[in-house]
Amino acid sequence: MQAKANPASVAAAVPVPGVTAEIVTFHPPMRPAVERLRDGAGKLAAALLPPVIVLGLTILIWQVLCSSPGASLPAPTKVIADSWDLIADPFYDNGGVDKGIFWHLAKSLSRVAIGFSLAAVVGVALGVLVGQSLWAMRGLDPIFQVLRTIPPLAWLPLSLAGFRDAQPSALFVIFITSIWPIIINTSVGVRNIPQDYRNVAAVIRLSWWEVFWKITLPASVPYIFTGLRIGIGLSWLAIVAAEMLIGGVGIGFFIWDAWNSSRISDIIVALVYIGIVGFLLDRLIAFAGKLVSHGVSAQ
């Protein structure tokens, strides 16, 4: 029979002698710098060349198609010639809505930032509720499934009627557009938390609040960020449409204004900017998700 375990003797125990460490870091031999540089350049070329070639070809075809005198859309060279002031100086500000494209984008981004942040907070909270409570899921899920199919702009008249002001209405449209994927993905993440993690929490007797902060949230981070990524994409889609209707400064209004003034080239420049900003937003959320998930991946 073994000796009785008492805390003092346990604490006094020392590591087992004669056992070597298990972790060995291997340093692969360094190859010559020139060779590594050439390899790196080769990889870079392999990644960059195809998109550059395809882009070049697309612009070339566009140029050829729109070069005839009767073309309804401007060719790339004409776009650059017409809208050079927009491309060259995105920061000018002549007062009113006559601003550089940077200011329009900044205004739209600030609306997205506010509406999307609200959606993220409320969406994650509702998602956790729906994921944890069977009753809440049965009650709320059917409503969510119907509401999430409503197109963003269909909410605009109702929110204008409710808020009686264009600004909060635009924010509400962003909010209501981006919240559904956040709720749904968060709830799936919470439901999919492995029983093992719950068992660990039960054995060390974490309180409900500790389980929420230390287990539920970190375990569902990959799902939450999937929802946030879809959500930010949708809000960027919705803001352009909403701003066309509410007016004022904003990239959506800029496009609508350009159309009304028949500045087709300006529209094309704005579309390129919108695409690039949307892409950057998506990458930003993906990067943030990678930072906080610490190698936890969705199963």
Contact positions vs other proteins (CB under 8 A): 1-5, 7, 9-11, 13-16, 19, 21-23, 194, 196-197, 199-200, 202-206, 210, 214-215, 218-219, 221, 293-296
Q: State which residue, 206 or 286, has the beta carbon closest to other proteins.
A: 206
H helix count then E strand count, the chain: 13, 0
Q: State which residue, 9 or 145, has the beta carbon closest to other proteins.
A: 9
What is d(CA 124, CA 226) in angstroms, rounded to the nearest whole number?
12
Q: Least distance from C-beta 152 to other proteins, angstroms?
A: 34
Residues composing the chain: 299
Q: Least distance from C-beta 6 to other proteins, angstroms?
A: 9
CA dihedral 49, 52, 58, 60 (to 10 degrees): -100
Q: Least distance from C-beta 29 to other proteins, angstroms?
A: 23
Q: Least distance from C-beta 195 to other proteins, angstroms?
A: 9
Give the orientation angle of helix 217-246 with respect to helix 155-163, to 10 degrees: 80
Q: Least distance from C-beta 284 to other proteins, angstroms?
A: 21
Q: What do you get for the CA distance between the two ends of the chain, in Å?
A: 45
Q: State which residue, 66 or 206, has the beta carbon closest to other proteins.
A: 206
Tokens of 249: 């400064």
Tokens of 269: 């420049």
Q: State which residue, 58 or 207, has the beta carbon closest to other proteins.
A: 207
Q: State which residue, 19 or 34, has the beta carbon closest to other proteins.
A: 19
Query: Is 269 in contact with 88 (CB distance < 8 Å)?
Result: no
